[in-house]
Amino acid sequence: MDEVARTVCKNQIEARKLKYAELMTAGKFESAVQAIGDCHNLLNDPALKEMVATAEQRHYVEIVSNQGRTPADRLWALEVLMRHYPEKAKGYEKLHAQLLAKRDEAEKAAGRRADAADADRRKKQGVSIGMSQVDVLKSSWGRPIKINKSVYSFGTHEQWVYEGGYLYFEDGVLKSIQTSR
């Protein structure tokens, strides 16, 4: 199979080089890498390997430099550059730290949005048997008007009084719901 692929590469290499040059001129670095394909490895050609390396480096540098890209994308490209082409990544240390901080902040913000969406969902869904008191407080029922508490040798019972009904807890777990409709 490799021999067939090697023969195909040998027969197509000049056309692939022309396509590579055209794509590099157009600034389509990732496509330029694809134009050479795996021929640089199959033919074990140092010049082709250098062409691919050049296109990859320019592709990653372009992503890193593009402030319109997300911090996560830019960070990914910079880390690939640092791992595979450390000489090309020199001078990007400060940007790396900035992008890490931006990515972390974006992840925290996404987490806060997800938490808020979860809280909104819980607030709208009401209450159900088995919920904890904390879950009830976060639900659409919210804080009760009044709490009647009884402590017994076998546990604690609470009646939470609302305008629209009552919730009954045993040892902090909702056991009964009474609505006045």
- Give domain limits for the chain: 2-110, 126-179
pLDDT in tens, 102-156: 989 989 999 999 988 887 777 667 899 999 999 999 888 999 999 999 999 999 9
CB 1 within 8 A of CB 31: no
Domain 126-179, what architecture?
Answer: 2-Layer Sandwich (3.30)
How far apart CA 82 and CA 97 sit, in angstroms, is: 13
Q: pLDDT-based confidence at 179, cuts 50/70/90?
A: confident
pTM of the shown model: 0.62
The pLDDT of residue 116 = 84
